Chains A and B, each alone.
Chain A
Amino acid sequence: MKKYILILVLLAVNTAFCQDTESKEKEQKAKKDFRFEPSGRIKMIYPIQFGHHSLSKAHDANIGFGWSLSFFNYKNFRFSPGFDWIQYKVTDHELVGNFSASVYNSFHGTVSYEIPVTESFSVLPDLGFGYVMVNQKTSNHKFGTQEGNEIRAGFTADYKTNKFLTLFISARFIHTNLNMETDPAYIDFYGKANQIQLALGLKFN
């Protein structure tokens, strides 16, 4: 009987040690997969509106600005909330009204995946969704706000200059749907927009 008890105890101890090793390995692996890596990006945006819609046909784009933040890296995936600000100068007042600019504000979230190419160079395809506000204004008077949402897809190319600073360029397609009530013939003209957004910026690691 004692022999049996001794064997059972040994087995139990052995099993317990086995489980401990596995969980530690999993924990270490998880730690490698999920890392706290805060970073921030600032960028200059050059938007190219195209298609038959108000931002393309009745406005000229100025250089815009944007920023985004990211705190965690999970298996090279990152989630980055961010903000873009682009001012469009009105060129056709008969189509949009007598105000000087439409300001495109986008609050967006993007998921990107980092593909290292070399030690200092990597490419990050991304996909995102955003909430959009277009403010119509002159310097001292607002002419209403148009709200909507956008989907965005593109890629970023990162070039790491040192431990703290990375240069990047990005190209992105953005499709925007905006709320609009008007004659049905003009709903899409004022309610949709398509743009290619080129950007140049700095990433702080």
Chain B
Amino acid sequence: MKKITLLLLLILTYSCGIQYDGEKRLIVEGQITDRDEKPLSGRIVEVIVSDYDETDVISNSYTDANGNVLMIFPAPQNADYFSNTRISIRIAGDEIWQGKYLYNMWESDFTNYKYKLNTTLYKKEDIVQFNVIPNRVSNKDLVDVRIEGIQSNESIDFHPIVNDVLYANIQQEFKVIKNQQLVLHYTILNNDNTAPTSYNETINIGNDPINQYTITY
């Protein structure tokens, strides 16, 4: 009975694993620099392939003295819209430097089998929070909020799910770089069949760790 139970457990837990195409190679190459465009050496970069069940670190490397990195690895099969297999690139952070996570990538995000990873990393001490606070006082809707300025972009979703409800996707929290001028763009939907009104506000970001802007509509 024990043997049968063990066999059943083995069958149940058996997984084929992520499938790879041994006859196709994908390439991640590029340079990692700081905000002054100086190369950052010794940064850990990983390429991760995952599906619902498994995760493989298919390649990992360190940036060289010039901040360059080159990783070549077998392409996962069916990393596309129709399957659950996805490719991610992770740049590890540490106590000084931010990390970055580029995720939900398909094979089609590689141009001619190559993804150019030219990225700027910021020191953690240079990153502050910018929050947009919606203050609804009428029958209007805030439908679009975005900022123009230097953001740390710690995680980038290559294929975000787009929600049908316009105001459900409003981003309210941004990680931005200290001591800069941002432009905040937002749109108010009037709900009385008149045209939506767009606004642009210039905002000064200083040294405060948390910065806020309230939109009253």
Min CB distance B116 to A, Å, is 11
Does residue B173 face the partner (Cβ distance < 8 Å to A)?
A: no
Check if A143 sits within 8 Å of B113, measured CB to CB.
Answer: no
User: A141, A145, A183: which contacts B22 (Cβ < 8 A)?
Assistant: A145
List, in ascending order, chain A residues with CB within 8 A of B183's CB.
none
Q: How many A residues touch the partner, as a band?
A: 20 to 34
Check if B25 sits within 8 Å of A186, measured CB to CB.
Answer: yes
List, in ascending order, chain B residues with CB within 8 A of A143's CB.
20, 22, 58, 74
List, in ascending order, chain B residues with CB within 8 A of A97's CB.
58-59, 72-74
Min CB distance A16 to B, Å, is 65
Interface residues of B, dominant DSSP: strand
Interface segment among A24-32, A45-53, A88-96, A152-160: the answer is: A88-96
Chain A 165-184 interface residues, beta-carbon cutoff 8 Å to B: 178-184
Check if B72 sits within 8 Å of A96, measured CB to CB.
Answer: yes
Check if A144 sits within 8 Å of B23, measured CB to CB.
Answer: yes
List, in ascending order, chain A residues with CB within 8 A of B74's CB.
97, 136, 143-144
Check if A98 sits within 8 Å of B20, measured CB to CB.
Answer: no
User: B22, B27, B61, B70: which contacts A146 (Cβ < 8 A)?
Assistant: B22
Chain B interface residue count, CB cutoff 8 Å, equals: 24
Give 1 or 0 for each of A79-103: 1 = CB within 8 Å of chain B CB: 0000000000000011111100000
Does residue A134 face the partner (Cβ distance < 8 Å to B)?
A: yes
Min CB distance B101 to A, Å, is 18
List, in ascending order, chain A residues with CB within 8 A of B72's CB.
94-97, 182, 186
Does residue B71 face the partner (Cβ distance < 8 Å to A)?
A: yes
Check if A182 sits within 8 Å of B113, measured CB to CB.
Answer: yes
Min CB distance A86 to B, Å, is 16
Does residue A114 face the partner (Cβ distance < 8 Å to B)?
A: no
Check if A98 sits within 8 Å of B25, measured CB to CB.
Answer: no
Given contacts A134-B22, A145-B22, contact A183 B27 (CB under 8 A): yes
Check if B114 sits within 8 Å of A183, measured CB to CB.
Answer: yes
Bound-complex Cα distance A181 to B70 (A)? 18
Chain A 104-149 interface residues, beta-carbon cutoff 8 Å to B: 134-136, 141-147
Give 1 or 0 for each of A179-198: 1 = CB within 8 Å of chain B CB: 11111101000100000000
Check if A186 sits within 8 Å of B60, measured CB to CB.
Answer: no
Bound-complex Cα distance A145 to B21 (A)? 7
Does residue B57 face the partner (Cβ distance < 8 Å to A)?
A: yes
User: B19, B21, B73, B112: which contacts A98 (Cβ < 8 A)?
Assistant: B73
Check if A182 sits within 8 Å of B27, measured CB to CB.
Answer: yes
List, in ascending order, chain B residues with CB within 8 A of A146's CB.
22-23
List, in ascending order, chain B residues with CB within 8 A of A96's CB.
72-73
Does residue B56 face the partner (Cβ distance < 8 Å to A)?
A: yes
Given contacts A94-B59, A98-B59, contact A181 B73 (CB under 8 A): no
What is the interface of chain B, defined by CB distance below 8 A to chain A? 17, 19-27, 56-61, 70-74, 112-114
Given A97-B58, A142-B20, A144-B74, 12 more A-B residue pairs with CB atoms under 8 Å apart are: A94-B60, A94-B61, A96-B73, A97-B74, A142-B17, A143-B74, A144-B19, A144-B22, A147-B23, A181-B25, A181-B113, A182-B113
Could you give 7 example pairs across A and B, Cβ below 8 Å? A98-B58, A98-B59, A136-B20, A143-B20, A182-B72, A184-B112, A186-B72
